[in-house]
């Protein structure tokens, strides 16, 4: 059900009173988080005995909401909320935790009238993926290699037989895993506060926590009753980034209507801003079934008229945003003339687009053309922030090239990996303290220092603090690891269990490798250039491709640890990376785009070899139809990036000659920039 938009906030209040669950859907700059605050204040005033919790997705958002509403209601991240909810029930967790480590069985696909050739292709791909996951899991747990997966021709002769044989092997392995888990002390189960699950020590990460909580809700109805006994209202801000299973669990609780324990779910967000793959994104199914009432909010308090005109063409729903004039603290309404700006779209023509496999020279030449286009856009939009997909060139420009390189050589999704790892080893915490000090925000610095045991009683203590932090900020030679040890010694930070466990685990890992003769032999030849299974198999005995990849993984992990904690990776790289994430640099990653508005923005429509996006789908409908998911991902990301512009917006794109006409249909006012001496 969808309500007419008369007054979105009034509609929300009405449904709060009626205990009717709803979703407030509004575009960027529509004041959704402000609505959350207002409604919590209203709830507190209207129903002082109502029990509510507000769930959001970042600690910054938690603090922002708490500042407005005080301590009347709990405000928490989704992970903190679920962890606090289930942490006492380790015996129950023990019954469901095997799902994190076991292998999914091979089931035949539903053909849905699909072409037979395409069906067989899809089924074999699924078989191959599951087989490889099984082989990798078996080797990691039992150190037993598997034969190489059979080819498609052989599989197609009798897929039922091969599926059955694979499932027997999977069942045997899963039984071993479950028996091993059952033999382990359930009291040792823990949430490790990282992205990763660990079978070895029976711990689970962020995604594992969400999966376990979902299974507990499904298998133990008492958990839902506990939630309903504690809360009358659950507010979720940025619902689109909440995992689908979590939303489903809350909806299920809402549907269990009882006079004494009704639960009302209040969602706030925007499906167009669902740029992370693990979020629910689309809430339509729950609106269609009547479980939620949709309240559209088309207000835009952020963008100029001209920017809104562009972002409305990018939305995939019926919401068309319109300028809403805000009031200041004195109650004065913003003047309409102050909400005008300008938008320009620039393109240049290139002969070819390099691929991820292209040579370094080809990539550099192409990158220089993109930079030329950006610089031309800057001429008409001074002091603009440049929104891009993170890549090696940006790391070079912003001064964290070596840090990026270390992670790039081991991981995909480099940005997220850097963030997580630096957080877990407390480098992010240290960077935050240094940058707060640098910007003279001394109160939060003092608060953090006290937690680390730093003494600040006298003027001399303050002078010592100045010296200690400037050593970190100004000493360009201090390495990442040296900075961490220095900060711990000086009591600027207090080392956490997570950090110490990582450092200890790294040391043990390296020590174990020293005594691993087979690995040392592999390492010798791999470092000499034998970097494929076929090459390596000619000089040493390798039982299978899984065994090769196992040793290759050990090699990459050892190299990663050795370089990251060596003198070659400087603390200044981490500082510069933090500045970049905190938007204190010229370039901003598109994946940090959901934040405060920026007066002038240059959006660089360049994929930089990310497979998830294809910005040509914005103007080439044939490519959009042929790549539905990439089109959706690309449209949403560009919408989010463009909608950060408060006044002026520039979009730039390098085009192939055959794309120009299509581009001009989508962006009729687009201007061509001639590439001169590039």
DSSP label at 271?
G
Chain centroid to Cα 427, Å, comes to 19
Strand segments, DSSP code E, in 464-606 are 587-589, 598-604
Q: What is the pLDDT of residues 553-583, one digit of tens each?
A: 899 999 999 999 999 999 999 999 999 888 8
Does 143 have pLDDT greater than 90? no
Tell me the HSE value of 575 on the side-chain side, using a 13 A CA sphere. Answer: 22
Q: What is the pLDDT of residues 292-337, one digit of tens each?
A: 999 999 999 999 999 999 999 999 888 899 999 988 777 788 888 9
Rounded CA separation 267/341 (Å): 32
Q: What is the pLDDT of residues 237-255, one digit of tens each?
A: 988 888 889 889 999 998 8
SS (H, E, C) 280-312: CCCCHHHHHCCCCEEEEECEECCCCHHHHHHHH
Q: What is the pLDDT of residues 470-482, one digit of tens each?
A: 999 999 899 999 9
- Taking CA 494 as the corner, what is the angle to CA 491 and CA 500, rounded to the nearest 5 degrees? 130
Residue 577: closest CA among 395, 365, 406: 395
Rounded CA separation 402/574 (Å): 10
* Cα dihedral sign, 116-107-279-264: positive
Residue 5 binned pLDDT confidence (cut-offs 50, 70, 90)? very low
The arithmetic mean of pLDDT across residues 630-647, rounded, is: 92
- Please measure the distance between the N-terminal and C-terminal CA atoms of the chain and give it in whole angstroms: 55
Percent of the chain at pLDDT exceeding 90: 54
Q: Whose structure tokens read 């010592």? A: 464
Q: Whose structure tokens read 């910005």? A: 615
Q: What is the pLDDT of residue 216?
A: 96
Between residues 657 and 412, the one the model is more confident about: 657
Report field, pTM of the whole predicted structure over 0.85: no
Q: What is the pLDDT of residue 541?
A: 87
Q: What is the pLDDT of residues 151-189, one digit of tens each?
A: 888 898 999 999 999 999 999 999 999 999 999 999 999
Residue 472: closest CA among 340, 572, 401: 572
């Amino acid at each position: 059900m969808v309500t007419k938009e008369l007054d979105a906030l009034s509609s929300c209040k009405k449904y709060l009173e009626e205990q009717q669950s709803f979703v407030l859907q509004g575009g960027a700059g529509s004041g959704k988080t402000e609505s959350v605050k207002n409604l919590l204040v209203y709830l507190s005033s209207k129903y002082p005995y109502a029990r509510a919790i507000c769930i959001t997705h970042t600690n910054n958002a938690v603090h922002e909401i708490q500042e407005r509403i005080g301590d009347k209601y709990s405000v928490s991240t989704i992970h903190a909320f679920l962890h606090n909810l289930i942490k006492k029930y380790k015996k129950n967790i023990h019954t469901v935790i095997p799902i994190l480590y076991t292998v999914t069985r091979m089931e035949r696909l539903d053909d849905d009238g699909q072409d037979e050739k395409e069906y067989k292709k899809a089924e074999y791909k699924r078989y191959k993926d599951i087989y490889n996951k099984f082989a990798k899991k078996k080797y990691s747990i039992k150190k037993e290699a598997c034969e190489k997966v059979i080819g498609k021709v052989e599989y197609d002769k009798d897929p039922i037989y091969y599926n059955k044989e694979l499932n027997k092997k999977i069942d045997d392995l899963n039984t071993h895993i479950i028996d091993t888990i059952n033999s382990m002390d359930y009291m040792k189960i823990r949430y490790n506060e990282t992205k990763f699950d660990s079978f070895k020590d029976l711990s689970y990460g962020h995604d594992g926590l969400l999966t376990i909580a979902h299974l507990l809700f499904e298998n133990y109805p008492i958990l839902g009753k506990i939630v309903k006994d504690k809360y009358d209202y659950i507010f979720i801000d940025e619902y689109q980034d909440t995992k689908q299973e979590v939303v489903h669990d809350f909806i299920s609780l809402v549907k269990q209507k009882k006079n004494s324990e009704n639960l009302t779910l209040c969602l706030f967000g925007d499906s167009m801003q669902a740029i992370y793959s693990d979020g629910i994104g689309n809430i339509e199914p729950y609106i269609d079934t009547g479980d939620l009432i949709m309240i559209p909010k088309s207000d835009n308090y952020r963008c100029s008229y001209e920017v809104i005109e562009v972002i409305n063409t990018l939305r995939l729903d019926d919401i068309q945003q319109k300028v809403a004039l805000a009031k200041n603290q004195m109650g004065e309404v913003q003047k309409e003339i102050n909400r005008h700006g300008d938008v320009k779209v620039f393109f240049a023509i290139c002969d070819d687009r390099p691929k991820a496999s292209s040579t370094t020279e080809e990539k550099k030449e192409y990158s220089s053309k993109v930079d030329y286009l950006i610089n031309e856009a800057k001429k008409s939009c001074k002091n603009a922030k440049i929104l891009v997909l993170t890549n090696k060139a940006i790391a070079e420009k912003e001064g964290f090239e070596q840090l990026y390189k270390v992670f790039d050589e081991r991981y995909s999704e480099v940005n997220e990996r850097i963030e997580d790892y630096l957080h877990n080893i407390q480098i992010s915490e240290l960077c935050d303290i240094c940058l707060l000090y640098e910007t003279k925000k001394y109160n939060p610095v003092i608060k953090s220092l006290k937690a680390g045991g730093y003494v600040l009683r006298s003027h001399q203590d303050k002078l010592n603090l100045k010296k200690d932090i400037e050593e970190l900020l100004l000493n360009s030679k201090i390495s990442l690891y040296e900075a961490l040890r220095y900060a711990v010694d000086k009591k600027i930070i207090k080392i956490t269990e997570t950090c110490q466990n990582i450092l200890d685990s790294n040391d043990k890992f390296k020590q174990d490798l020293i005594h691993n003769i087979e690995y040392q032999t592999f390492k010798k030849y791999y470092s000499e250039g034998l970097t494929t299974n076929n090459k390596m198999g000619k000089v040493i005995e390798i039982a299978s491709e899984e065994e090769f990849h196992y040793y290759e993984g050990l090699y990459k992990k050892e190299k990663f640890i050795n370089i990251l904690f060596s003198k070659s990776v400087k603390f200044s790289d981490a500082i510069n990376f933090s500045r970049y994430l905190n938007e204190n640099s010229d370039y901003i990653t598109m994946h940090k785009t959901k934040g405060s508005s920026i007066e002038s923005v240059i959006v660089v429509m360049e994929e930089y070899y990310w497979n998830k996006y294809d910005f040509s789908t914005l103007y080439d409908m044939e490519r959009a139809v042929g790549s539905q998911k990439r089109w959706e991902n690309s449209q949403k990301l560009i919408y989010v990036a463009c909608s950060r512009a408060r006044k002026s917006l520039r979009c730039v794109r390098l085009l192939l000659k055959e794309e120009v006409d299509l581009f001009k249909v989508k962006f009729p006012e687009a201007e061509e920039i001639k590439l001169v001496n590039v």
